Amino acid sequence: MQSYRGLCKAGVAVIDEIPFHVCKELTVIYLLKNDLKMTTVAGSQVLSCGQTEILNVKEPVMLEAVAEFCRVIYFSFDKAYIESVGDNFDHITYNCNICNFFGAAAESYHIEKLNSLLFHLLEDMTCGVAAWSIREKLDAFLSYIREKFDDVGHVFSESTKLEISKERFQRISEYMIAHVSEKMSLNEIAQNEYLSIPYLSKEFSSKLEKSYHAIINYYRTINAVIQLLDTEDTLTNIAENSGFSSVRYYNKVFSDYLGCLPSKFRSIYRGKAWRCSEENLSKRILSELIAASFEENRNHYRLSVKDECTSFSLCCDAEGEAVVDFVIEGDSGRKLIVAVIEDAMYWESKRIMMEMKPSLLEHVPVIDPKKEYVLLSEDEQRFQLVMFSPWKAEIHVILFDQSERDL
């Protein structure tokens, strides 16, 4: 296991069965070999080799190998680091492929970018890179998870027309999880959002395709499972602490989700032994993963650098947002990358400006091609750019050594 105290840890786990337990750390897993059945309160789904998933803080989950075993890379954010960030990660859920409740998975190109960030962070960890450098990449990795992998956010497209609804229901979901043990009502949430009850009720059904009562019961059942696994509380207290109106109703809702009564669930899973083992996270495994992910991504380019300043003219006619990978080949030392990009977003902005009245153009700044700058160390050969296809770009790779930088 690779570990940076107070920041993160990573390793390879060989899983036969990890019974229902409550995750204590935000964790990302990547399947190296064989399939894995992942069960949450909402149901079960099989992850295939090469897929990625996020295990949330305070999320009850069970992992079972479909075949003889499943080998996974795991990456966990340290609790101290998560607390230093300040967000309530135990009140928010993230996912990549598992979509048992809200029914929406992350976009594939976002998962590709997540994998790339993960692999390069792991590579630095195995190379013993300084903690301050790991912290920088860790911040970027966590920021990307928060931005692109919110469970509720997946339900909404990235259309700006739905952005208000997306932010509203992300806020509502966080509030519901945080106050799940209380006698919460739709009226209370409607007041918080300055909306009428009928309108908000309709919004739940039309936007999330779930009723308010279905969602709050789901969150309450999760809360009950956490207490069944991690406390000695009585079933009556757990029902009350999870916000259920009665033990009878608690038993009914719980059975609907887990297929058994709470007492049976506790007797089966509380304290059950894990069947898994640990392996070393080797540089060879990571090099193979990085190479494979690079070759599988159709948006990748190899830049052969021979001079102190080498320029490349590139273009792509595909459509949609793309995470474009670049790898620099050759003995290059430190590198400054200057990218001048004209993409679909740039051309659309130009078109809108051409249709404006001349009087308005006086108040609008000139739209120039986007410029991005990337600084790479001697050991870094890869970088990524996000572009909206179709696009064309001028990529300039400038080599410099320590003495030139000091000047």
Give the span between the Cα atoms of 74 and 54, in whole angstroms.
10
| Pick from 5-14, 138-147, 294-303, 389-398: least confident | 294-303
Query: What pLDDT, on a 0 to 100 scale, did the predictor assign at position 294?
Result: 54
Q: pLDDT category, 21, cuts 50, 70, 90?
A: very high
**How far is residue 304's CA from residue 144's CA, in Å, rounded to a whole number?**
30
Highest mean pLDDT among 180-184, 290-294, 313-317: 180-184
Q: Which pLDDT score is estimated for 157?
A: 58
Write down the mean pLDDT value for the chain: 83
CB contact at 8 A, 15 and 72: yes
386 pLDDT higher than 60:
yes
pLDDT of residue 332: 61
CB neighbourhood size of 317 (10 A): 8
**Which H helix or E strand runs over 12?**
strand 8-22
The stretch 301-315 carries a mean pLDDT of: 82
Q: How far apart are CA 255 and CA 262, in angstroms?
A: 8
Beta-carbon contacts of 294 under 8 Å, excluding residues fewer than 6 positions away, are 300, 325, 327, 382
What is the distance between the alpha carbons of residues 106 and 110, in angstroms, rounded to a whole number?
7
Instruction: Tell me the pLDDT tens digit for each residue of 271-289.
Output: 899 999 998 877 777 777 7
Report the pLDDT value the prediction gives residue 405, as an integer from 0 to 100: 44
Neighbouring C-beta atoms of residue 3, cutoff 10 Å: 13
Q: Collect all residues with Cβ–Cβ distance below 8 Å to 291 and sequence separation of at least 6.
A: none
Tell me the mean pLDDT in the region 158-178.
74
- Choose the CATH number for 298-406 among 3.40.50.1470, 2.60.40.1500, 3.40.50.720, 3.30.565.10: 2.60.40.1500
Cβ–Cβ < 8 Å for 346, 393: no
User: What pLDDT does 347 receive?
Assistant: 82
CA nearest neighbour of 332 among 295, 303, 290, 300: 303
pLDDT at 138: 92
Chain-centroid distance of CA 154 in Å reads: 11
Cis peptide preceding 369, ω within 30 of 0: no
Q: Which residues contact 175 (CB under 8 A, 6 or more apart)?
A: 189, 192
- Among the residue ranges 47-61, 74-88, 91-105, 391-405, the one predicted with the least confidence is 391-405
Among 272, 177, 242, 241, CA closest to 215: 177
Strand partners, 45: 38
The whole-number pLDDT of residue 300 equals 73
pLDDT tens per residue across span 133-165: 889 889 989 989 988 888 877 777 554 456 667
**CATH 3.40.50.880 holds for 1-297:** no
- What band does 179 get if pLDDT is binned at 50, 70 and 90? confident
Partners of 77 in the beta sheet?
8
Taking only the tens place, the pLDDT of each residue in 333-366 is: 788 999 998 888 888 887 777 777 666 666 667 6
Task: Tell me whether the omega of the peptide bond preceding residue 262 falls within 30 degrees of 0, making it cis.
Answer: no
Structure tokens given for 22: 């409550």
Helix axis angle, 108-126 to 283-296, nearest 10°:
150
pTM: 0.72
Question: 401 pLDDT exceeds 70?
Answer: no
Contacts of 97 (CB under 8 A, 6+ apart): 45, 47, 51, 52, 53, 105, 106, 111
Q: How far is CA 93 from CA 108, 177, 291, 335, in A?
A: 18, 10, 31, 38
Question: Confidence band (pLDDT; 50, 70, 90) for 404?
Answer: very low
Contacts of 363 (CB under 8 A, 6+ apart): none
What are the DSSP E strand ranges found in 296-369?
300-304, 309-329, 334-343
Quick: pLDDT tens for 77-132.
999 898 888 777 778 888 888 777 876 778 877 888 888 888 888 888 888 888 88
Q: Which residue has the higher pLDDT, 403 or 196?
A: 196
Q: Helices 262-269 and 212-230: crossing angle, nearest 10°?
A: 40
Q: How confident is the model at residue 403 (pLDDT cuts 50, 70, 90)?
A: very low
Which among 338, 290, 344 has a CA at the least distance from the CA of 317?
Answer: 344
pLDDT band at 26 (very low <50, low <70, confident <90, very high): very high
Report the greatest alpha carbon distance in the chain. Answer: 75
What are the residue ranges spanned by the domains of the chain? 1-297, 298-406
283, two tokens: 């540089």
Say which amino acid occupies 5. R
Burial string for 160-170 (b: 16+ CB within 10 Å, else e) reads: eeeeebbebbb
Residues 6+ apart with CB under 8 A from 407: none
Q: What does the block give as tokens for 179?
A: 């106050």
* DSSP state, residue 205: I
- Identity (one letter) of the amino acid at 149? F
